[in-house]
Amino acid sequence: MTVNSAAVTARATVYGYPRQGRHRELKQAVEGYWKGRVTADALRTTAAELRRTHWQELADAGIDEVPTGDFSYYDHVLDTSVMVGAIPERHRAAVAADPLDGYFAMARGTQDVAPLEMTKWFDTNYHYLVPELGPDTAFVADSARQVAELTEALALGLTARPVLVGPVSYLLLAKPAPGVADGFDPLTLLDRLLPVYAEILSDLRAAGAEWVQLDEPALVQDRTPAELNAAARAYRDLGARTDRPKLLVASYFDRLGDALPVLAKAPIDGLALDFTEAAAANLDALAAVGGLPGKRLIAGVVNGRNIWVNDLEKSLSVLATLLGLAHQVDVAASCSLLHVPLDAAAERDIAPQIRRWLAFARQKTAEVVTLAKGLAHGTGAITSELSANRADLASRAASPITRDRTVRARTAAVTEADARRSQPYAERAAAQRGHLRLPLLPTTTIGSFPQTGEVRTARADLRAGRIDTAGYEERIEAEIQEVISFQEKAGLDVLVHGEPERNDMVQYFAEQLTGYLATRHGWVQSYGTRYVRPPILAGDISRPEPMTVRWTTYAQSLTERPVKGMLTGPVTMLAWSFVRDDQPPAETARQVALALRDEVADLEAAGTSVIQVDEPALRETLPLRAADHPGYLAWATEAFRLTTGGVRPDTQIHTHMCYAEFGDIVQAIVDLDADVISLEATRSHMQVARELAAHGYPREAGPGVYDIHSPRVPSTAEAADLLRAGLRAIPAERLWVNPDCGLKTRDWPEVRASLTSLVAAARAVRTEL
């Protein structure tokens, strides 16, 4: 399209940027601080250098207004809890004694004090620390960090906009603190919280902020009239103050829906909307309310969550439509760039032509700047950029990587019977009991064991050619021997091989399937200092050869006890990858499911009696609007059943899920038709067990009794208490005993001690029964 916008001014901005640094300097500094190798001052210096580098990169790229406050040592929601003084009672003494150590104690816990609960940030793979609130919560403003970071950016001569989690989303994301009576709604604290936000906004204005962004992503979910009224009251009150900066309320991840007219009427100065996947709905809703006369609109037209190049002409068309709907239209990515890697140019292992299809944070920043330039000065000002973009889009569409006739013929031939076990659960369960002969309250782990320095060194040596494949396999066999030996001595009932050969639960499989691209530097924050490299799902998927049979059968040869085969399920293979956007996800999931079905069949043929297909992303990928749930859950559960539907009745199928809210997908968990499910439950004090019971979940379940995201070692008594709580919801004959999640990120000493406690707890409770 042609845009002639000589009279238009359009600014380029972003809401946030990857925190870790080009070489994950933040991870190294934080973990060094935890281990006592890095001082607090050195950690703060590293953080300041990273912020300065990121702001300068954005400004040099042409971003007119940089974000501040998006940087975090661990999590921005935890930062918000600190900012408003919502420190749980059990952590107050530590925070008072040393704010930095107290901050990390809230995130990770200590041996004596449990951390905050952690769960997924909307439908992403980022995890946030859940605020704990109660009727006695007293909020206190602490704007020091926000003011300091704004001051840093202004000192560089930059135009800066502080970014805060908005008060309504903060309360909607919170949970009642432990011990608070059931039924307490954190949103009832809004009137107590608003004066604290008003004070912080006043401080930021005094420090030089012209605009402050208040993120309200919770408003893109289905909201009750009471919740929408709370949003209206919040922004009426904050907007009415005279000592505030200009207020920009930002939404992302989906359509704003009924909240859009509420915010359009509020006395705020601007609104930021997602115009990528939610473009049509937000455009229609914005037009229906008469636009935003006299206000600023930031249009998120560059997808901040995926890594494909933007269709610049399509985005310019959306922007041109918006020009008549607001006083000022500026350009941004659809959400914080926290969710994508830093720089596609660093991926030298990917062919140059394919690399041109990709846009990481730096490339997305350039796209935002190009679109703002085109909107402000007309398409004539970006002729070369548009021409190159057309060529990149055409190259991808025509590439043979994207279509495999054999794969497509196989998916087209799938029948309903392929996604169904041969016998109902009751008959399978009897066959499995007779075959496996497990005790009451069987114990197991989720899959991975600590990835030691020796394992990582072996993998690096293989890549560098310092050892050959035979030498590498000898090291992996030695690690598996140690893992099996420990589990037998500890008394676990169903063992795992420990996954020493796997770099990541998705990447490991992606590197062995056709259609995937692997990155070398594509790190994305999952939580705290945990970074992952999501593979890129670029084409049709097939499995050239077995992926896990070699190591599972070797582990089984070392023991008489059953060893689980460990696979990552099709939904998680999509959710934790950057998935292709040129076909429906249901089609892609079916392709992945068929590849995994072949692996399941080979494991079973090799003598594996227990096969676990992890789906931690099933809940995470649930659409944010209830109207979109049935369609997603239909293809997601079908993909799991297609993966597992071909096994014998006496082969036990497990699945695993963690760090999400499961109460609203229990029926989908039933529809998976797995024989056993293990779930994270420790930080939520067995909430998921109660939710399964309330729904009448009919199969076996293992709600976790060991929080693996904390360095704490649970005592036998503590694990036994959690197990007893689980028994109040799930009968003993259907209850398993396991950690919350895999043990990859933990160290061996704490794993040995924790699993010893877990097995002792199971034995103690068996005796009671």
Give the residue numbers marked as catalytic.
709
Taking the C-alpha atoms of residue 522 and residue 536, their distance in angstroms, rounded to an integer, is 10
The helix (run of H) or strand (run of E) holding residue 516 is: strand 514-517
Closest by Cα among 673, 688, 758 to 730: 688
Does residue 476 sit in helix, strand or coil?
helix
Compute the half-sphere exposure of residue 221: CA atoms within 13 Å on the CB side of its CA: 17
Does residue 147 sit in helix, strand or coil?
helix
Strands (E) located in 232-312: 246-250, 270-274, 292-302
Taking the C-alpha atoms of residue 146 and residue 71, their distance in angstroms, rounded to an integer, is 10
Find out whether 220 and 177 touch, Cβ atoms under 8 Å.
no
Find out whether 703 and 681 touch, Cβ atoms under 8 Å.
yes
Does residue 133 sit in helix, strand or coil?
strand
The torsion angle over the Cα atoms of residues 188, 193, 197 and 200, rounded to 10 degrees, is -170
Taking the C-alpha atoms of residue 362 and residue 341, their distance in angstroms, rounded to an integer, is 9
Does residue 696 sit in helix, strand or coil?
coil
Q: Exposed, middle or buried, 35 (CB in 10 Å: 0-12/13-18/19+)?
A: exposed
Find out whether 548 and 567 touch, Cβ atoms under 8 Å.
yes
Find out whether 116 and 106 touch, Cβ atoms under 8 Å.
yes
Cα–Cα separations (whole angstroms), residue 54 to 166, 287, 362, 528: 23, 36, 10, 19
Taking the C-alpha atoms of residue 360 and residue 558, their distance in angstroms, rounded to an integer, is 45
Find out whether 159 and 64 touch, Cβ atoms under 8 Å.
yes
Closest by Cα among 502, 601, 499, 610 to 543: 601
Phi then psi for residue 213, to 5 deg, are -95, 130
Give me 680's structure tokens: 């994270």
CA 572 and chain centroid, separation: 11
Q: In angstroms, how far apart are the furthest CA atoms of the chain?
A: 81
Find out whether 441 and 765 touch, Cβ atoms under 8 Å.
yes
What sign does the CA torsion over 64, 69, 74, 80 have? negative
Helix axes 279-288, 312-322, angle to 10 degrees: 10
Q: What per-residue string of b and e applies to 538-553 under the rule 16 or more CB within 10 Å gives b?
A: bbbbbbeebbbbebbb
Find residue 326's DSSP bridge partners. 292
Find out whether 640 and 593 touch, Cβ atoms under 8 Å.
yes
Does residue 177 sit in helix, strand or coil?
coil
Single-letter residue type at 768: E
Residues, the chain: 769
